[in-house]
Amino acid sequence: MSVEGWVQGDAARQRLALVMAHARRAMIATTVLSAVLNVLLLSGSLYMMLVYDMVLPSNSIPTLVGLAVLVLVAYAFQGVLDFIRSRVLLHFSAAVDVDLSEDVHKLMSLMARTQTSMDSLQPMRDLDQLRQFLAGPGPSALVDLPWMLFFIIILFLLHPYLGITVLIGGAILVFLTFLTERLTAEKNQKLMQLAGNRQVVADITRRHAEVLSAMGMEGRIGERWRTTSGQFLAAQEKLNAIANSLSNLTKILRMVLQSGVLTVGALLVMNQQASGGVIFASSILASRALAPVEAAIANWRGFVSARQGWARLKSLILAMPEFPATDMLPAPEKLMVAEDVTLGPPGTERLTVQGVKFGLRAGEALAILGPSGCGKSTLVRGLAGIWPLVSGAVRLDNADIKQWPPESLGRHIGYLPQNVELIGGTVAENIARFDPDAQSEDVIKAAQLAGVHDLILHLPDGYNTSVGADGRALSGGQRQRIGLARALYGNPFLIILDEPNSNLDSLGEDALASAIADVRARGAIVIAVAHRPSLLASVDMVLLMKEGKAVAFGPRDKLVGHLLPDKRAEAPAPAPNVA
């Protein structure tokens, strides 16, 4: 399923409207502060002009002291206002992060599950880029940019030739600003894509380090890393070359213009069309007029990245599916129905499950059987609400699972994936699904139900043992049994197990069978993908799949009774009669 297939909702527009409201307030405050700051920036040039035109000719110490006190007060106010403006932007950037962080986390989870073509970490990088730009000097430079005209007008008041000189230079710098935009926007977008590709290869190396090392694949993946990294560095070098070249050109042009203003001022003084103080005042004013343009060009790359990131975030948040805000439904306790379930791996057009329908009542257990690649794991992902359905519905007590908020639905479902990966934390936290209000007795009950309580007690710190990144501090069997306890935590109504005995020994399989019997006794529904016949003894219903379709559904004994383990074969042979 692509991003374009998500359904828009009004709640997303309201959240974005809140962000824009914060932005308007912040920009109004920044604009007002910038107005006062830019007016105060006149103090230095006025002080210089008055010193040369009034103090030096009159040799008046009191006048000099008075002017010095005034300019010091102006500088003090300027420093305080500049600090306040930076703090406003810093708080605004933090507010944007707070307002969007929940949506960004949901986007990353949704994009990872639905396997969109975009990197699932891109929303986080976009938010970071947006926050960093808002907290930096970029917004101040953009707000100060229109004030270039204010300083040019002041220069015109001093003399039209001075204003014309700076106006021509300012026009050239503005042209360079727009040239920077045209030359960097597309290259910056490409750089972001290459950065995502580079991150994907890095994740492959991190997640599959053992396989790469054991099977001699490090060199091949390393070559892929060097190629991807080389493409990224080449694109970054081109972008930096353009940005740095234009920035250096701007600096040189600014120095040339300052010298040009001094030259024009000197000519005016020699022709007795201006006073000596005008030379220095015009130089300072020209510097102030051109400084925002130079700052804008220096921060233009960050501005382009932030603008593109905001556009992506806005489109993704608006397209993100909306879920009910509150849970209006009682906990399911009677039945589960799959109605013509059709789906496939998200991001592809291939449908690996088509038109599967069946129903289960409380206390029943279903084994899904079929050859590899027939769609068993895809089906259970659809039943658990992990992958979106192309058509059909999954209902609990006649209510579509989409009617529950995700957090509420999760309390009614226990899911054990085929490849169990625990989350960094303690064993107890993983079993409790990181519920901060979890009770120790509930955690222990789930562990006992999964038959893993004694195993946990033999770990170095018991329930407080750290499982490590992705649970790698534990063996595959330990992860699977703790994952089973996590699936059973909270007494969920629908328990979905994808090959739950793939890493279990005989003791673990006995514990699994006991757990299934216990949850069935309390009225839960169990759905398990099975490859080993030993699991069939714990179920009463079977769904046979072939090429993505359900070819048979019915009682276990009727469909696959011949596959049940022969208990007589497991009994010890009688001792030979030696009499």
The residue extents of the domains of the chain are: 9-319, 335-561
**Strands, sheet with 525-529, edge to edge from the N-terminal-most edge strand:** 413-416, 494-498, 525-529, 365-369, 541-546, 549-555
| CATH topology agreement for domains 9-319 and 335-561 | no
CATH of domain 335-561: 3.40.50.300
CA 368/CA 477 separation, integer angstroms: 22
CA 113/CA 4 separation, integer angstroms: 15
Bridge partners of residue 525, in order along the sequence: 494
CA 545/CA 376 separation, integer angstroms: 7
CA 264/CA 161 separation, integer angstroms: 7
- Retrieve residue 206's tokens: 């991190």
Per-residue pLDDT of the chain (579 residues; tens, 9 = 90+): 344 444 445 667 777 887 888 788 888 888 898 888 888 888 887 887 888 778 778 888 888 888 889 889 988 998 898 899 888 888 888 888 888 888 888 887 777 776 655 667 788 888 888 888 888 888 888 888 888 888 888 888 888 888 888 888 878 877 877 787 778 777 877 887 888 788 778 877 777 776 777 777 778 888 888 888 888 888 888 888 887 887 788 778 878 887 888 888 888 888 888 777 778 788 888 888 878 877 877 777 788 788 888 888 887 777 776 666 566 788 888 999 999 999 888 767 788 899 999 999 999 999 999 888 888 888 998 998 888 888 899 999 988 888 888 788 888 999 998 888 888 889 999 999 888 888 999 999 999 988 889 999 988 899 999 888 777 788 888 888 899 999 999 899 999 998 887 777 788 888 888 899 999 999 999 999 987 777 888 888 999 999 889 989 989 888 876 666 654 444 344 444 433
* Domain 9-319 in CATH 1.20.1560.10: yes
Task: Convert 297-311 to b/e letters by CB count within 10 Å (16 or more is b).
Answer: bbbbbbbbbbbbbbe
Biggest alpha carbon–alpha carbon distance for the chain: 140
Which of these, 387, 336, 514, 500, lies nearest to 109 by C-alpha position?
A: 387
Neighbour count for residue 221 (Cβ, 10 Å): 16
Please check whether residue 179 is in contact with residue 333, taking contact to mean a CB–CB distance below 8 angstroms. Answer: no
Q: Is 273 helix (H, G, I), strand (E, B) or coil?
A: coil
CA 358/CA 123 separation, integer angstroms: 38
Q: Which long-range contacts (CB under 8 A, 24 or more apart) does 82-88 make?
A: 82/37, 84/33, 85/29, 85/30, 85/33, 85/34, 85/37, 85/140, 86/140, 88/26, 88/29, 88/30, 88/33
CA 44/CA 52 separation, integer angstroms: 13
pTM of the model: 0.68
